[in-house]
Amino acid sequence: MVNRGIRGATTVTQNEETEILRETVVLLQEIVERNDVIAEDICSVWITMTEDLDATFPARAIREIEGWDLVPLMCSVEIPVKGSLPKCIRLMVQVNTDKSQRDIRHVYLNEAQRLRPDLAQSKS
Structural domain boundaries, residue 58? 2-114
Binding site: which residues? 7, 90, 108
In a domain, 41, yes or no: yes
Please report the pLDDT score of residue 107 as a whole number. Answer: 96
Catalytically active residues are 7, 63, 75, 78, 90, 108, 116
Mean pLDDT of the chain: 94
**42 vs 83: CA distance, rounded Å:** 32
- Taking the whole predicted model, whether its pTM rises above 0.85 is answered as yes
Q: What's the number of domains the chain is made of?
A: 1
What CATH number corresponds to the domain at position 34?
Answer: 3.30.1330.40
Mean pLDDT over 59-68 rounds to 95
For residues 116 and 88, which has the higher predicted lDDT (pLDDT)? 88
In a domain, 84, yes or no: yes
Are the beta carbons of 46 and 71 closer than 8 angstroms? no
In a domain, 102, yes or no: yes
**87 vs 10: CA distance, rounded Å:** 9
In a domain, 65, yes or no: yes
Are the beta carbons of 25 and 58 closer than 8 angstroms? no
Please report the pLDDT score of residue 116 as a whole number. Answer: 86
Binding site for prephenate: which residues? 7, 90, 108
In a domain, 58, yes or no: yes
In a domain, 28, yes or no: yes
In a domain, 108, yes or no: yes
Please report the pLDDT score of residue 85 as a whole number. Answer: 96
pLDDT level of residue 82 (50, 70, 90 thresholds) = very high
Mean pLDDT over 92-114 rounds to 95
Please report the pLDDT score of residue 120 as a whole number. Answer: 67
In a domain, 54, yes or no: yes
123 Ramachandran zone, left/alpha/beta (phi>0; psi -120 to 50): alpha
